[in-house]
Amino acid sequence: MNLSKNLLLLALVSASFAACKNDQASSTTKTATTATTATDSTASEADEAPVVVAAPEIVYINSDTLLSNYQYFKDVRARLEAKGKRMETDLRTKASSFQKEVEQYRQTGAGMTQEQRASTEQRLAQKEQQIAAQQQASGSQLAKDENDEMKKIYDKVADYLKKLSKEKGYKMVLTYSRGNSAILYGDSSLDITTEALSGLNEEYKATKKK
């Protein structure tokens, strides 16, 4: 046992001595080559090309932010809301007028002849049907207008993103919206919403001036 320990100790001492000699030799060599290394390092740094970070191929856009800040969308929404209010006001006016006629008939109907009552009731029934038909037509028209406008907005955004992707080298642009998205997480460096929004608003601003 003691012999083994002595041999082990001797081996460790020998290794330490050898390492010490190597360190001294290495130190001498390092001192001799410091100037050369410094010169080579400077030349190497001068020759190094700047690091170019490749653009991501897949990016995403926050559609909630895009639509709430896209001026074209805001203008479209304002026009549709104004049109809807005009339709609603017209329907309320006609419904109020119809209600007054019905109330008047209830008060005077008893003094009418049978023919007069039949004629009045027929006229009121036709008017009620007309108001109901107008209400349905107005709702359908508004829905159609909204679909048409949203298609235009989609086409404008898609066309711009195609152009932007060609410039930036994007291969795919995903869309993200809170509560309705396949993207559970996306690094903020991949979010191009602000860039796309700025470009879209500039394009829309230019078309409004024409």
* Global confidence as pTM: 0.65
Determine the 3-state secondary structure of 203 from DSSP: helix
Determine the 3-state secondary structure of 1 from DSSP: coil
Domains and CATH numbers, the chain: 58-209 (3.30.910.20)
Tokens of 145: 């207008």
Main-chain dihedrals φ then ψ at residue 176, nearest 5 degrees: -130, 135
Q: What is the pLDDT of residues 147-199, one digit of tens each?
A: 999 999 999 999 999 999 999 999 999 988 887 777 777 888 899 999 999 99
Write down the pLDDT at residue 88. Answer: 95
- Residue 155's contacts (CB-CB under 8 Å, 6 or more residues apart) are none
**Residue showing tokens 């049978």:** 114
E strands, 49-132, are: 58-62
Query: CA 34, CA 152: separation in Å to the nearest integer?
Result: 68
